[in-house]
């Protein structure tokens, strides 16, 4: 997943889409982790990635 990261494009649709893919991967991971603490951390990181994607998309909508 990291290799798919858009380079030097933190406020673009492609970066937001990449963060969504990261969130999906983290959600999948959270479903199979053994320890509750790890599941919670993966779920929290997924939520943060989705929030970042939403923030980027909202900013892009305001621009254009």
Q: Which residues contact 51 (CB under 8 A, 6 or more apart)?
A: none
Residue 55 lies in a domain: yes
Residue 3 in any domain: the answer is no
Q: Which domain holds residue 48?
A: 10-63
Which pTM value belongs to this model?
0.84
Residue 23, in any domain of the structure: yes
Q: How many domains does the chain contain in total?
A: 1
Interatomic CA distance for residues 51 and 40, integer angstroms: 16
Residue 11: pLDDT band (50, 70, 90) is confident
Over residues 17-34, the mean pLDDT reads 96
Task: Give 43-56 pLDDT, tens digit per residue.
Answer: 999 999 999 999 99
Instruction: Kindly give, in sequence order, each residue whose CB lies less than 8 Å from that of residue 19, ignoring residues fewer than 6 positions away.
Output: 49, 50, 52, 53, 56
């Amino acid at each position: 997943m990291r290799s798919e990261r858009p380079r030097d494009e933190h406020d673009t649709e492609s970066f937001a889409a990449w963060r969504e893919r990261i969130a999906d991967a983290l959600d999948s991971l959270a479903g199979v982790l053994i320890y509750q603490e790890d599941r919670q951390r993966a779920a929290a990181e997924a939520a943060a990635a989705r929030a970042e994607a939403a923030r980027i998309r909202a900013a892009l909508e305001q621009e254009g």
